[in-house]
Amino acid sequence: MIACGSSGSATDGSPNDLDVIPPQIVSQSPLHRDAEVSVHQPIEVKFSERVRLSDSAPVRLFANTGETDVPVPATVRLSRDGTVVTIEPTAPLSAPADYSVKFGDIRDEAGNALVSMGWTWKAPLWLRVGQPLEDAGDLSSLMIVAGPDEQVTVGSTVTVNVPDQRLLIHAIRRSNDRWTLLDNRLKIDSRIVPSLFWDKELGLSALISDRENHIALEQWLDTKWQEHSLNHSTSDVVDALIGNSKDGERFLAHHVFHMDAGTEIFVSHGSNWSRLGGPANGEDIIQGRLISLFLDRQGTPYVVYPTSSDPGRLRYWSQGSWILRAPPVTSPGDKALLLRITIDDGGTPFALVAISEGPSVYDQRFQIRRFDGNHWIDCGAPLPMPGSSRLQYFGQALDGHTFAVLTTQSPGTEIPDKVLTFDVTQNGWTAIAPPVDTLRQYTRIFATIDDRGAPILAWSEGSVVHLRRLNR
């Protein structure tokens, strides 16, 4: 017993003292009642003193997607000093769902029981990426770049004195919910749409063109932009710049409007660019058509280009040459137009085509085709897509899935008024509830994929940009 007025305390170690203070929660992750929690966020709780866990479910994890709490299998670990409990789900968590941790019999070494019953949080389907971004510049040129550690960079162009423009860059980092305005003194030529991307070697980088149509690669160095390399070849349209391949190369493709109009490809090792020429290996490239250039997630470069015999042929780069990967996606008889090709994590090509079913532009629908090693197979479509629908994004997501973003425009309206998002696998399309269903006055939809393979969706409302990341 502790007498009144005793100078001893419950923790001074005196043999006559009795510890009657129960353990307290010092910190917990996620925070209690947090409504914006990633399914990847660690789950742990720290106590004020060493605790002991009973053998009968002292800590349990639950998920609630409706009205009932469902137990989630998880491994519970106690740190060596006995003050931190970590909960590791045996399978990935899913969203949207409400999660809770419930405590059973947890006591300190003196036998005092923990009073807290646990805590709760929400994992929404779409996670907010920073606060709404205001004064984003010319939204028609908006670019979204996802870097490592959930860093997101947004770039747009701002007109200073026509024909001069400046590239305005906003950046957000994982530990900071506020946007940081980077140096906006990066001038660009108004005729060339700049590219913003994440390079494995250089980090945040920008591809710009000067008035002489020379192409410069700029690297962001903490406080300023610095030119990394310059391609002296002149061009009229920059088609694509991709980051490092698995061999550390960068590929640049652009179109030149000369008497021998066609597409040129350049590759760089470090700061030196060298011309590869067109990938057609003797096949004619249709005048005025641009190729598409992209990397799969293993870092292998792929190219799609039109020839006189078909509207799109897929090749990959290997040991100094372009190797045929798949036959033409479309044929003259099926009235299909190739829009985009991407490669999933397993190396399977997927193609998006628009199929004409009548004389009007409204008589068309989108179709996904998958290459099975020999032929292109129809993966089906979620619903007929009228000509007023727009493809906003089609690219590789995580776990072998492909992500598609479509917007629809109601008759008589001038802007898209609905957004549709889909998960595309070998078995077809699965609808994903978008972060905003009705667009109303929203003007554009943008999408990209982060380093984890999770889609990031952005939409503009006036001069304000909202960003969400798919929580999976």
Q: What is the pLDDT of residues 358-390, one digit of tens each?
A: 766 556 677 888 888 898 888 876 655 555 666
**Range among 126-130, 241-245, 308-312 with highest mean pLDDT value:** 126-130
CB proximity list for 146: less than 8 A, separation 6 or greater: 152, 153, 198, 448, 449, 450, 451, 456
% of the chain surpassing 90 pLDDT: 21
- How is residue 9 written in tokens? 């305390």
Higher pLDDT, 432 or 148: 432
CB proximity list for 198: less than 8 A, separation 6 or greater: 145, 146, 147, 148, 153, 204, 205, 243
Residues facing 188 on adjacent strands: 165
d(CA 287, CA 278): 13
Model pLDDT, residue 2: 28
Higher pLDDT, 188 or 84: 84
What confidence tier does 7 reach under pLDDT thresholds 50, 70, 90? Answer: very low
Residue ranges in 204-246 assigned as alpha helix (H): none
First-residue to last-residue Cα distance in the chain: 54
3-state secondary structure of 469: strand
Is the C-alpha dihedral spanning 255, 257, 258, 261 positive or negative? positive
pLDDT digits (tens, 9 = 90+) for 65-74: 888 899 999 9
- How is residue 6 written in tokens? 């005793």
Give the mean model confidence (pLDDT) for residues 191-216: 75
- For the chain, residues classed under CATH 2.60.40.1220 are 25-123
Give the mean model confidence (pLDDT) for residues 286-303: 69
Q: With 50 as the cut, is the pLDDT of residue 292 above it?
A: yes
Q: With 90 as the cut, is the pLDDT of residue 328 above it?
A: no
Q: With 60 as the cut, is the pLDDT of residue 35 above it?
A: yes
Q: With 60 as the cut, is the pLDDT of residue 331 above it?
A: yes
Higher pLDDT, 413 or 238: 413
What confidence tier does 146 reach under pLDDT thresholds 50, 70, 90? Answer: confident
Model pLDDT, residue 71: 95
d(CA 44, CA 137): 41
Which residue in 392, 419, 409 sits closest to 126, CA to CA? 419
How far lies 288's CA from each of 182, 298, 332, in Å?
A: 36, 31, 20
pTM of model > 0.75 = yes
DSSP state at residue 55: S
Contact 303, 317 (CB under 8 A): yes
* Poorest-pLDDT segment among 94-98, 157-161, 239-243, 461-465: 239-243
158-163 LR contacts (CB < 8 Å, sep 24+): 158/184, 159/190, 162/190, 163/189, 163/190, 163/191
Higher pLDDT, 80 or 251: 80
pLDDT digits (tens, 9 = 90+) for 425-453: 767 778 888 887 666 555 567 788 777 77
- For the chain, residues classed under CATH 2.130.10.10 are 129-470
d(CA 85, CA 380): 47
* Poorest-pLDDT segment among 40-49, 226-235, 333-342: 226-235
Model pLDDT, residue 107: 94
**Range among 7-21, 49-63, 135-149 with highest mean pLDDT value:** 49-63
% of the chain surpassing 70 pLDDT: 70
d(CA 455, CA 464): 20
Q: With 80 as the cut, is the pLDDT of residue 396 above it?
A: no
Q: With 90 as the cut, is the pLDDT of residue 108 above it?
A: yes
Higher pLDDT, 403 or 320: 403
Model pLDDT, residue 118: 92
d(CA 395, CA 144): 14
How far lies 422's CA from each of 59, 122, 395, 448, in Å?
A: 37, 23, 11, 14
Contact 255, 240 (CB under 8 A): no
Residues 407-424 as b or e (16 or more Cβ within 10 Å = b)? bbbeeeeeebbbbbbbbb
What's the Rg (C-alpha) of the chain? 28
Model pLDDT, residue 424: 79
Count the alpha carbons within 13 Å of 312 in the hemisphere toward its beta carbon.
23
Model pLDDT, residue 240: 54
Give the mean model confidence (pLDDT) for residues 56-62: 90
Mean pLDDT score across all residues of the chain: 76
Largest alpha-carbon pair distance within the chain?
Answer: 102
- Cα angle for residues 195, 198, 204 (degrees, 5° grid): 85
Model pLDDT, residue 382: 61
What top-level class would CATH report for the domain 129-470?
mainly beta
What top-level class would CATH report for the domain 25-123?
mainly beta
Higher pLDDT, 244 or 347: 347
What confidence tier does 192 reach under pLDDT thresholds 50, 70, 90? Answer: low
**Range among 89-103, 226-240, 412-426 with highest mean pLDDT value:** 89-103
Model pLDDT, residue 365: 73
Secondary-structure percent of the chain, ordered helix, strand, coil, rounded to 5: 0, 50, 50
What confidence tier does 95 reach under pLDDT thresholds 50, 70, 90? Answer: very high
